[in-house]
Amino acid sequence: MATPAATKRLTKEYAAISKSPPPYIVAHPSERNILEWHYIITGPAETPYENGQYWGTLMFPPDYPFAPPAIRMHTPSGRFQPSTRLCLSISDFHPKSFNPAWEVSTILTGLLSFMTSEEMTTGSVRASDHERKLFATRTRWWNSTGGGSKATAAQSSSSSNTRGVGAIKAGDGGAKFHVEWPDIDDENAKWMKEKRINPQTGLPLPTQSQAPHCSPEVAGLRRRPNGSAAGVGAVVQGGQVAREAGQSWLGRNKWRIVIGSLLAYIFVARILGDGAISTSG
């Protein structure tokens, strides 16, 4: 339970961040627990995270601001392990280095700065810009569906670093996100419908225009009453007619001419042979 000092401080900070949010950042405390804050970072332009929707939590200690929060990012990003506590100078990994003058906006701005760098720490991962861009295109889908499927045994048996208050298990169907961000969740649902996103996979559904393309001629063959076999037969027959039309009379009858010439030669030879025998007799 939050101390009166923590409650007063966090209430003041919520009013300030609502009135003047930092660039690319929105945040609010949970209605049920003022120590549990939810944030969304929109991926900045000209970064691999551009237009991505990155949801995470800050879990403040009861004696805040004299101790820092646990920081997690639930949305897969290619930068952090999902729902894993991050080791940062502004997180609960380093309570002695935390400055009580730092506010929620300071913490989240620092997280965004670290996210767009390549510095490594506990909870961070390496990935190519291409991979991170692919993650960015699927963030809205992931947030509103929890990854598109129910949690598997492998997902449930996570490390101790992903357990505890504030951790989100993949496969919750987007239930937690919908509770904390109902308006944004509705926007995500409309976006997925407009983009024809498969809610199970996060990939676009195939459209008729993506079907294998064929020329009008081939399409006409497919519409023949006797089916494709008749169409193929017509093409073969048509080709034979075209080839015959292009040949000369001599080309089409050359074997007849050869055989006729051979028979004529034999006939003439026999006549000449019979005449020679008669003369000699």
* Catalytic center residues: 87
Q: How many CA atoms lie within 13 A of 93 on its CB side?
A: 14
Q: What's the gap between Cα 121 and its chain centre?
A: 27
The continuous run of DSSP H or E covering 122 comes out as: none
Which tokens belong to 86? 């991050």
Between the CA atoms of 262, 266, 271 and 273, what dihedral angle is there, to the nearest 10 degrees?
Answer: 140
**Region class of 55: left (phi > 0), else alpha (psi between -120 and 50), else beta:** beta
DSSP string, 22-82: PTTEEEEE-SS-TTEEEEEEEPPTTSTTTT-EEEEEEE--TTTTSSPPEEEE-S--SSB-T
Cα–Cα distance measured from residue 3 to residue 98, given in angstroms and rounded to the nearest whole number:
18
